[in-house]
Amino acid sequence: MSRMSYRLAKAVSDGREARGRPSSREEVLSRLLVKRAVAHRAGLHDLEAALRGQITWSLPVRKGEDAEEGSETPT
């Protein structure tokens, strides 16, 4: 392996250790929204549709009393 290949492999590995791991569900959603916007601008309709599905899946889901209170509309 050449020296340049080794340096590239090390840089990629170092970048993956913990910095690439999202710290919260909100960060995951944020990254997906950015990726979807990039796909939209690039005209990649199939990729954008796939990302929309992932975005829908990653949205927070309310359960129990919180969901009931949040679904009521004020009158």
CB atoms within 10 A of CB 51: 20
Q: What is the per-residue pLDDT for 58?
A: 86
Q: What is the per-residue pLDDT for 50?
A: 94
Q: What is the per-residue pLDDT for 27?
A: 85
Q: What is the per-residue pLDDT for 38?
A: 93
Residues in the chain with pLDDT values less than 50: none
Residue 59 near residue 29 (C-beta atoms within 8 A): yes
Q: What is the per-residue pLDDT for 18?
A: 57
The secondary element (H helix, E strand) that includes residue 28 is helix 25-42
Residue 2 near residue 24 (C-beta atoms within 8 A): no
pTM value is 0.56
Q: What is the per-residue pLDDT for 12?
A: 72
CA distance 7 to 14: 10
